[in-house]
Amino acid sequence: MQKIDWENLGFSYRDTNCHIRHSWRNGVWDDGELCASPYLNMHVAAGCLHYGQAAFEGLKAFCCKDGKVRIFRPLDNIRRMAMTARRICMPEVPEELYIKALERVIRANRAFIPPYGTGGSLYIRPLLIGSGVQIGIAPAGEYTFLILVVPVGAYYKGGLHPVKAVIYDDFDRAAPLGVGGIKVAGNYAASLFAHEKAKMEGFAVELYLDAKTHTFVEEFATSNFVGITADGAYVTPESTSILPSITNLTLMELAREQGLDVQARSVRFDELENFSEIGACGTAVVLTPVCSITRGERVIRIGPEQGCGAVFQSLYERVQAIQYSEAPDRYGWCHVVEMDD
């Protein structure tokens, strides 16, 4: 194995020892196997390729201060994938099978888990796809569930960096009764064009408003919206077309613990200028502070242009401390992976 430069890992794919793969046929999941090749041999008429039956998840495992390896909130990701599966007519992956698969693939790739102190983690990407042959529009008859892992580095070196966000009124991400509230692959295809445009124009993230009225804030393309009001309330939008972010649930719990008033409610675009901190939250980065939001000619500035507001800084540190077991796991979020086979 090539020596890994733990301090300089980014967030990109690299080969590991293997991924784990389970198949669903005739109504049952098989026992799964560890596959060294990162390629999948698939029929050209597989349902996922034509009709988008594909769900994925993103979670992380950490090498902790006590040397143990822990997965952060795996049951929440498992249940969210089950919700996605139901909505797009795929079989759910049973929780016990899922947890075992996570443990097996992590154990088999233990050499790729960034050591404690490097700020890195093992990013885990479960994928559930309709792999059966399906030429008429209908759910596929067979499914493949796989989990791949990738070591990733600390996103922030030397503190949280704020980014610029943009709202485009000519693109929507998710319809009110569509599939924005689940993690189906097509949602990301739907947002690629706007994302490339944003990057070209110098913005790191796009913020979406509700598709029906463009009045209410929904979420960023790959992360939830969080705002801190001038009087210290934690506000996050509530809508059927927002993905329920597990990081957001974590932050809400920790914000309550710090005595903040946590409000999950409709957030009008007009309110944005009243927030003292705005951030994008998700597994990859935990929290990215946003220093400005541009909509056409209008630019709303929030918080410091350098660094990060005090509330986000403290929430970010709390999450990281729990993930690396530097602080007690009062909520039972961390799942220890026994490393003996």
Ligand X SMILES: Cc1ncc(COP(=O)(O)O)c(C=O)c1O
Catalytic residues: 183
Tell me: does residue 58 bind ligand X (CB under 6 A).
yes
By CB under 6 A, the count of residues binding ligand X is 12
Stretch that binds ligand X, among 133-141, 229-237, 239-247, 303-311 (CB under 6 A): 239-247
Instruction: Tell me if 211 sits within 8 A of 172, measured CB to CB.
Output: yes
Which runs of E-coded beta strand occur in the chain? Answer: 19-25, 28-29, 33-35, 54-56, 59-63, 69-72, 121-130, 143-152, 163-167, 205-209, 217-220, 223-229, 234-237, 262-265, 275-282, 286-295, 298-301, 334-337
Type of residue found at 337: V
Tell me: does residue 198 bind ligand X (CB under 6 A).
no
Tell me: does residue 9 bind ligand X (CB under 6 A).
no
Any idea of the CA torsion for 24, 29, 34, 40, to the nearest 10 degrees?
0
Tokens 């001038």 identify what position? Answer: 230
Q: Least Å distance between CB 183 and ligand X?
A: 6
Distances in Å between the Cα of 212 and the Cα atoms of 148, 169, 203, 296, 319 are 37, 11, 24, 19, 34
- Rounded to 5°, the CA angle 216-217-218 comes to 115
Q: Least Å distance between CB 219 and ligand X?
A: 5
Chosen residue from 243, 285, 293, 334 binding ligand X by CB under 6 A: 243
Instruction: Tell me if 160 sits within 8 A of 287, measured CB to CB.
Output: yes
Token pair recorded at residue 36 = 């060294």
Pattern 15-54, ligand X, x by CB under 6 A: ----------------------------------------
Stretch that binds ligand X, among 1-9, 153-161, 220-228, 333-341 (CB under 6 A): 220-228
Chosen residue from 84, 245, 288, 323 binding ligand X by CB under 6 A: 245
Chosen residue from 53, 109, 134, 224 binding ligand X by CB under 6 A: 224
Q: What are phi and psi of 81, to 5 degrees?
A: -65, -35
Stretch that binds ligand X, among 15-23, 143-151, 246-254, 266-274 (CB under 6 A): 246-254
Tell me: does residue 78 bind ligand X (CB under 6 A).
no
Q: Least Å distance between CB 222 and ligand X?
A: 4
Tell me: does residue 222 bind ligand X (CB under 6 A).
yes
Tell me: does residue 247 bind ligand X (CB under 6 A).
yes
Q: Least Å distance between CB 1 and ligand X?
A: 29
Kindly identify the residues of this chain, within the stretch 110-169, that bind ligand X according to CB under 6 A. none
How many residues in total does the chain contain?
341
Tell me: does residue 190 bind ligand X (CB under 6 A).
no
Tell me: does residue 246 bind ligand X (CB under 6 A).
yes
- Rounded to 5°, the CA angle 287-288-289 comes to 115
* Dist. CA 94–CA 101, nearest whole Å: 11
Any idea of the CA torsion for 172, 297, 304, 119, to the nearest 10 degrees?
40
Pattern 265-284, ligand X, x by CB under 6 A: -----------------xx-
Site residues (CB under 6 A) for ligand X? 58, 219, 222-224, 243, 245-248, 282-283
